[in-house]
Structure 1
Amino acid sequence: MKHWIILLAIGLLVACGRGVPDEARVVVAGDSVMAWNRIEGASVADGLQARLGQPVGDVSLPLARVTGGRGPLNIPNQLSGVRADWVVLNGGANDLSGSCDCGNCGPVVDRLISEDGTRGAIPALVSDLRARGSRVIWADYYTSPRYAGTACVAPYDALEVRLGRMAQADAGVTLVDMDDVFSPEDLTLFAGDRTHPSAKGSALIAGQIARVFGR
């Protein structure tokens, strides 16, 4: 039953998704953190579109991974054929949750991005986007109330450090750290599962990203 509920939720999000309008200069991709609240018109892409005052494409989906995942549940596949001035994306959480427990995630993190930030699935995706002429904004994860204070934080801290090294090596890549504005103690920022963003949380993410655009 749970499997069918998840598939139904994904189907609804796809049906309510905006896709990529022809005139969109900005496209959002990634996993459920980006896609959450889309049905209510309050996703990260919705908030970003309101702040920028221009069309924003959105191809993000719950359960999407950087590695693995079929069709649009693979984040590189979401961006297949997409050419935009800016691509805003995240990813890695479902790779970690689906492939390791919180105490043995080193190999998964290594597959996503090497310690020096130059190799792995994430740098390969970013390099591909840069070769298409896109500037890239990578939205790093916040710490959610569900996992704050647990061993699960460590893999995400390692991921953030490596993402920072990747961004430092390319002026066309910006890392936006959501922990700068999210506190796991503020439950108003989170949905009832204490993991995904509430509508207020999605708006906060959009606002943090919009600062890169000077908005």
Structure 2
Amino acid sequence: MKYCIIFALCLLSACGRGVPQDARIVVAGDSVMAWNRTAGGSVADGLRAGLGAPVGDVSLPSARIIGGIGPLNIPAQLEGVRSEWVILNGGANDLSANCSCSDCGAVLDRLISENGTQGAIPALVADLRARGSKVIWADYYTAPRYAGTACEQPYQVLEDRLRRMAGSDAGVTLADMDDVFRADDLSLFASDRLHPSPKGSARIAGLIAPLLAR
């Protein structure tokens, strides 16, 4: 039953996925990027409207950095993609599937090492950079469902490591969604108190758009 639900979500969220031939910008990642796509309000939709330019979108709910089949694997989403900019996120589904909130060290190390140079995330970013893409990694906001709990801590560790990774390459930028989100502003979140509302997706697009003008 679980796999039927995931498959249905994939079908539902696949509408609008793809990379236009002339797209200089491609969005990849998990449900935070893909949410609101069916209503024309995803992060890629917001960038497309704000920039007046084609934006590719290959993100899908339930996608992981490590594991996941086909487009449910974030590196696989980007196979063959060559664009000036790649905007992506990831890691939440890896953490939620493979560790409890208080015992995530091994999963974090597989995703990205303490110094930000090793692991699946730096390997993906290095591959994209070798293709000539500039990378914007969108770090997660704090969702109301987890605010004030032990589940915040692994994400702070992830952010610290991502920041070290971005600091070592001028072609990599970390965009922190917490700069434009507040966990106590429920208008930014869907009814599940986890994913972004259309307003939240627009906030993420608004955070990222100025970085593309650099």
CA RMSD of aligned residues (A): 1.1
Question: Per-residue CA shift, 1:121-158, capped at 9, x if unaligned?
Answer: 00000000000000000000000000000000000000
Q: Which residue of 2 aligns with 1:44?
A: 43
C-alpha distance in structure 2 between counterparts of 1:175 and 1:141, whole Å: 10
- TM-score, normalised to structure 1's length? 0.97
- Gap runs ≥5 in structure 2: none
% identity of equivalent residues? 71
2:17–2:59 CA contact under 8 A, matched in 1:
no
C-alpha distance in structure 1 between counterparts of 2:94 and 2:175, whole Å: 20
Q: Which residue of 2 aligns with 1:155?
A: 154
C-alpha distance in structure 2 between counterparts of 1:7 and 1:69, whole Å: 12
C-alpha distance in structure 1 between counterparts of 2:29 and 2:152, whole Å: 20
C-alpha distance in structure 1 between counterparts of 2:90 and 2:5, whole Å: 22
Equivalences, count: 214
The Cα of 1:6 is off from its aligned counterpart by 3.0
3-state SS, counterpart of residue 10 of structure 1:
helix
Q: Which residue of 2 aligns with 1:93?
A: 92
3-state SS, counterpart of residue 39 of structure 1:
helix
The Cα of 1:3 is off from its aligned counterpart by 4.0
C-alpha distance in structure 2 between counterparts of 1:38 and 1:154, whole Å: 29
C-alpha distance in structure 1 between counterparts of 2:2 and 2:125, whole Å: 34
Q: Does structure 1 residue 11 correspond to structure 2 residue 27? A: no
- TM-score, normalised to structure 2's length? 0.98
Structure 1 stretches of 4+ with a deviation exceeding 3 A read: none
The Cα of 1:91 is off from its aligned counterpart by 0.2
Map of 1:46-195 to 2, 5 A cutoff? 46-195=45-194
3-state SS, counterpart of residue 37 of structure 2:
coil
